[in-house]
Structure 1
Amino acid sequence: MKHVSALLIKFIASLVLLYLILGLMYGMTFGEVFLLTAVLGLAAYVIGDLLILPRTNNTLATVADFFIAWLIIFMFVEGMAVTDNIFTATTIAALAVGLFEIFFHRYLANQILPDDEKGPMDRQLQYQTEISDELGEQPPENEKFDK
Structure 2
Amino acid sequence: MKHVRALCVKFIASLVLLYVILTLFFGVPFGDVFVLTLFVGVVSYLVGDLMLLPRTNNITATMGDFGLSLILIWAILAMQDNPPYASLAWAAIISALGVTIFEYFFHRYMAANILDETEGEKKRENRGALQYQNEASDELYPVTPSKKRDKK
Question: TM-score range, shorter-chain basis?
Answer: 0.7 to 0.9
Native 8 Å contact 2:27 2:84 kept in 1 = yes
Native 8 Å contact 2:58 2:104 kept in 1 = yes
- Aligned twin of 2:53: 53
Using the TM superposition, give the Cα deviation of residue 79 of structure 1 relative to its aligned residue in structure 2, in angstroms: 1.4
Q: How many residues align?
A: 141
Distance, in Å, in 2 between the alignment partners of 1:134 and 1:19 is 69
In structure 1, stretches of 5+ residues that fail to align are: none
**Runs of 4+ that moved beyond 6 A:** 123-129
Q: Which amino acid aligns with 2:22?
A: L
Q: Which amino acid aligns with 1:137?
A: V
Alignment deviations for residues 32-64 of structure 1 (CA, whole Å, 9 cap, x no partner): 101000100010000000010000000000000
Distance, in Å, in 2 between the alignment partners of 1:106 and 1:38 is 21
Distance, in Å, in 1 between the alignment partners of 2:30 and 2:87 is 20
Matched, 1:12 2:12: yes
Distance, in Å, in 1 between the alignment partners of 2:62 and 2:37 is 17
Distance, in Å, in 2 between the alignment partners of 1:7 and 1:84 is 31
Distance, in Å, in 2 between the alignment partners of 1:117 and 1:103 is 23
- Aligned twin of 1:137: 143
In structure 2, stretches of 5+ residues that fail to align are: none
Distance, in Å, in 2 between the alignment partners of 1:25 and 1:78 is 17
* Higher alpha-carbon deviation: 108-117 or 5-14: 108-117
Using a 3 Å threshold, how does the CA distance of structure 1 residues 39 and 135 change in structure 2: closer, same or farther?
A: farther
1:1-147 aligned at under 5 Å gives the runs 1-80=1-80, 81-114=83-116, 116=121, 136-138=142-144, 139=147, 143=151
TM-score w.r.t. structure 1 length? Answer: 0.82
* Identity of matched residues, %: 46
RMSD: 2.8
